[in-house]
Amino acid sequence: MRSHQVVETEALILQRTPYSESDWVVCLFAECSGKISAITPGARKSKRRYAGGLEPFHGLTVQLRSPSRGELFQLQSSEIAHPRHNLVSNLNAMRSAARVFRWLRRALPPMVADSDAWSLTQTWLDALDKVPPNSSRLADARSAEFGLRLLSLLGWALQLERCVHCEKSCPSNRPAYLNLAAGGIVCRACGGSGLILDPRLRAQLLSLDDNPLLGDESGPNVLRIVEDAFALHAGIDKPQTP
């Protein structure tokens, strides 16, 4: 965007932070410009100006004024264009979506439009709204499915068919050593050790393109792998478990 240009775009609120007595600074994922920060003048004192358009998880239509300097945009207006009432009424769905928004906040590069990541996020949120998870384990599974796809889009996909060093195939009925720093499985001959990936779980991960849903048994295990991968590549701290 050029200086002082005002554009209208679809967006998601990833986070909002108090900035002054009357303003918020929001982290937006905007279709036209990727992840950006914007100030919302007077939003903390007047609820009419944004009419509920500062809530997370709903699809928004926003008007953004580009900065004259720096990277802080001005959010001139925001309204809910695509509500997701089932999602925001379900604690498991909100928990899953909040985890995904944390990944997006930290892993997406600033001010880089990414149509694939945008489409992935919108499709995933719509699916979560249509069928909210009925347990915390299924919520973990939904997050893990998204996380694997986002890792792939960002260039951090895991190689699970063959050793990342010698490229020797791993038999489908054998466990494998998973090395996230190396980017996938590592055979014993190449120094594989540490985290062991169960053959059934590895097969499930390899078939996600054909069968995109994880079960409540495998979801939490895959989520731990995804969280570790984001911690490694994007410096995202894992949430504390009780």
What are the tens digits of pLDDT across the range 112-146? 999 999 999 999 999 999 999 999 999 999 999 99
In contact, 128 and 96? CB cutoff 8 Å: yes
Pairwise pLDDT comparison (211 vs 146), residue with the higher score: 146
| Range 205-234 average pLDDT | 88
Residue 33 has φ and ψ, to the nearest 5°, of -140, 5
Handedness of CA 232, 234, 240, 241 (dihedral sign): negative
pLDDT tier for residue 49 given thresholds of 50, 70 and 90: low
Q: What is the pLDDT of residue 3?
A: 54
For residue 176, pLDDT beyond 80: yes
Q: What is the pLDDT of residue 47?
A: 63
Instruction: Report residue 157 as tokens.
Output: 């996909």
Report the C-alpha gap between 100 and 94 in whole angstroms.
10
Residue 62, helix vs strand vs coil: strand
Q: Does the global pTM surpass 0.75?
A: yes
Task: Report the residue count for the chain.
Answer: 242
Pairwise pLDDT comparison (212 vs 221), residue with the higher score: 221
Report the C-alpha gap between 57 and 82 in whole angstroms.
9
Q: Express as a percent the part of the chain with pLDDT over 90.
A: 69
Domain boundaries, the chain: 6-83, 86-234
| Range 188-201 average pLDDT | 91
Q: Under CATH, to which class is 86-234 assigned?
A: mainly alpha
Domain 6-83 has CATH 3.30.2310.20: no
Q: What is the pLDDT of residue 241?
A: 47
